[in-house]
Amino acid sequence: MNEYQNLWNNILNSLKEEYDENVYNEIFKNCDEILKVENNYIYIVVPSALIKFRIEQFYLKRIKELIPIYTDKTIGFKFITKKDAEFEKSNNNIATKLVEPDNKNIGRNLSSIYRFDNFVVGESNRYAFLTAMKVAENPVIIGNPLYIFGDVGLGKTHIMTSIGNFVLDNNINAKVIYTSSQKFAEDYFLATSKSNKEKIQAFYDKFNSADLLLVDDIQFLEGKTATQEEFFKIFEHLVSQNKQIVLTSDRPANSLKNVMARLKSRFGWGISADIKTPDKELLINILKNKLSFLIEDPDDVSLDVLQILADSFPNNIRDLEGALRTFVNYCICMNCAFTKENLYISLDKILPKGAEEIDSTKDIISKTIDAVCKYYKISKNDMVSSSRKQQIAYARQMLMYILRINFNISLQTIGDNLGKRDHATVAHGIDKITNLIDKNNVIKNDYDLIIKSI
């Protein structure tokens, strides 16, 4: 263990010299304990999930660069929170075995941030997630290639990278290559542009020696015939060597245009899994998960705020996450609370137009429905149901009237919120009350009391 402790101490000393004292103290001061060494990874105990996240996000790259200065061995670092470390200790799940490595592959431009354990699962991505886990656990057996597709920003790269990290976690010597199809095309172009034989050979050697090849955004191979040709050869070679390939795309394999038929049919050989548009529950869960890495107490941000964010970015988790970060960063810098008002201020230019209006309209509608239901002692379900019972129909018309006359809400929006009633039905309901209200004291009295209660 001493050897590892020395290595880590050396790295800490280098970091101390490189970074500002305050930064160093804030991040690394209480990070000197080693929990275990397993699969060539040294596990460092860190005080909190936040510190772990910051190290992985901002410092791990530098740490990786420092390792070869102090050791020839292929060693990686992992960070585990004190809480998790204690749990492991209590389960006696501690190993210190070091299998002598034969080459250096740690990372290989694979982001260590994207992992299965920080991928939030919901209806829309469960199948892709489970399939990816199976492929990571049993490469080649489940299907080769694994083809993951779905719209932009929905988690394809995250899932694909998680497979790579999973494989590396279990075998630091595994040769995991991550590339995008654009980068692949660029590498090929550079290798061939000067017809330098060595370069071309190096290109083939690199890809043909992969144990796991991850190629992101394969749709950009469209129309690039020469690159497709090369990719086909590498694909065939790896498959024949029983090496797993994982591809992502924004569309199913059979919808790719200008891709050679034989390549397309290879893509369809294995197993494909799509990621669909997330539902609101998943969006909220993702936001909560991301918050737990951004601030100490995620409950400081109310559900209200999360809902506005989820409503504003329903189709792209990358944008959703970006908006959350901007908001949190603004509140921290300005030292203000994580409120709805500050959300609107911080995301003024980012939130889709009208988000604030939509939010306040929703609020008004929901409060008015509550007040009218309470007054007439009917349930919300009845209010939005198709029931035409006289008392329910009357209460519903009163509700329409108040929303339109007092709050100027559009007929369309009123109808949408009342069991998807059409424009004409809403207009008719409002007319009915308008005609009666000046003539009938009971109705006028009902109206006055409801307005008072709102």
Using CB under 6 A, which of 120, 234, 324, 373 touches ligand ADP? 120
Residue 125 interaction partner, one of ligand ADP, Mg ion, none, beta carbon < 5-8 Å per kind: ligand ADP
Residue 318 is a binding residue for ligand ADP (CB under 6 A): yes
Strands 41-46, 34-38: pairing kind: antiparallel
* CA 313/CA 324 separation, integer angstroms: 11
Query: Minimum Å distance from CB 165 to ligand ADP?
Result: 13
* 157 binding ligand ADP? (CB under 6 A): yes
Among 112, 124, 144, 157, binds Mg ion (CB under 5 A): 157
Q: Which two tokens stand for residue 192?
A: 């061939």
54 binds ligand ADP (CB under 6 A): no
The residue nearest ligand ADP at its CB is 155
Nearer to ligand ADP by Cβ, of 40 and 157: the residue is 157
Closest contact distance (angstroms) between CB of 224 and Mg ion is 19
Q: How many CB atoms lie within 10 A of CB 75?
A: 23
The residue within the footprint of ligand ADP, chosen from 40, 105, 111, 125 (CB under 6 A), is 125
From the list 44, 75, 132, 154, which residue makes contact with ligand ADP (rule: CB under 6 A)?
Answer: 154
Largest Cα–Cα distance in the chain? Answer: 96
At closest approach, how far in Å is the CB of 160 from Mg ion? 8
CB of 261 to ligand ADP, least distance (A): 26
> What is the rounded radius of gyration, in angstroms, for the C-alpha atoms of the chain?
29
Q: Which does residue 119 bind out of Mg ion, ligand ADP, none, counting CB within 5 to 8 angstroms by kind? A: ligand ADP
Q: Does 116 bind ligand ADP (CB under 6 A)?
A: no
- The CB-of-138 to Mg ion minimum distance in angstroms stands at 24
Nearer to ligand ADP, 47 or 153 (CB): 153
CA distance 267 to 284: 34
Work out how close the CB of 245 gets to ligand ADP at its nearest, in angstroms, rounded to a whole number. 17
Q: Confirm or reject binding of residue 361 to ligand ADP (CB under 6 A).
A: no
Place of tokens 């995301």: 347
| One-letter identity of residue 269 | W
- Among the listed ranges 76-84, 145-153, 168-176, 323-331, the one in contact with ligand ADP (CB under 6 A) is 145-153
Rounded Cα distance between 442 and 448, Å, is 10
Taking each helix axis as running N to C, give the angle between helix 423-437 and helix 390-405, from 0 to 180 degrees, rounded to the nearest 10: 90
The C-alpha atoms of residue 184 and residue 172 are separated, in whole angstroms, by: 24
SS (H, E, C) 269-295: CCEEEEECCCCHHHHHHHHHHHHHHHC
Interaction of residue 156 with ligand ADP, rule CB under 6 A:
yes
* 165 is a contact residue toward Mg ion (CB under 5 A): no
Residue 111 within binding range of Mg ion, rule CB under 5 A: no
d(CA 347, CA 73): 47
Task: Candidates 54, 158, 224, 266: give the one binding ligand ADP (CB under 6 A).
Answer: 158
The separation between CA 172 and the C-alpha centre of its own chain, rounded to angstroms, equals: 26
109/30 Cα distance (integer angstroms): 28
Asked if 252 and 238 touch (Cβ cutoff 8 Å), the reply is no
Q: Is the dihedral of CA 125, 127, 131, 134 positive or negative?
A: positive
Q: Interface with Mg ion by CB under 5 A: which residues?
A: 156-157
Q: Interface with ligand ADP by CB under 6 A: which residues?
A: 114, 119-120, 125, 150, 152-158, 286, 289, 317-318, 321
